Amino acid sequence: MILWTVAIILFIAILAIAFLLNFYKDPKRTIPKGNNIVAPADGRIISVIDTSKNNIKIKKGLLGKIKTYTKDVAKQCYAVSIFMSPFDAHYNRAPIEGIIKSIKHTKGRFFKAYDLEKSFENEKNEILIQNKQLKVKVIQIAGFLARRIMCHVKINQKVNKGQKIGFIALGSQTTIILPRNLKLKVKTGDKVKAGQTIIAVLK
């Protein structure tokens, strides 16, 4: 009986270690060259929202929440939300080369990260990046399990496209705000890899 108990404990410990090693994995990425914007996170796209008046297909309350995050990017924007499961790499990467113009941390709730409407009430960290051509915003959003957001950059710091800029523990969400004058290359349901998958290009 004691041997069985020890064996079960060891098995659980091995599974826990394997899960943590998988969770903190940091796979190498091939950063694409050219005038493109890459995904800021690994995971699956759960929503692509167009804030233009002619393309409103979402609840007014959710649209209002999203528009509070788009004002310093452009008048009309795309908001692309990526759900990061516990099995995805959880490092966030810069979608463009540029300068960190602002960082804003907001305390909040811890709803499930794949619940798009409620997730915007969660704790979050906004990172605005600007270069000579455009501005984009990466929003790190905590989830039900993920209760720790780490930001690895500072205001006025220069970052390269694909560079690691942060980390979110366990399942979580990352939303990127893009100017609407870009050409999107992804849609809801697509799997993306941080720093590698092209999500938009300059027209």
Active-site positions read 172
Contacts 24+ apart (CB under 8 A), 56-65: 59/117, 61/117, 62/116, 62/117, 62/120, 65/117, 65/120
Could you list the beta-strand ranges (E) of 76-197: 77-84, 91-93, 98-106, 124-130, 135-141, 149-151, 158-159, 164-168, 172-179, 182-184, 191-192
Two tokens, residue 144: 């039900």
Identify the CA nearest to 144 among candidates 113, 184, 167. Answer: 113
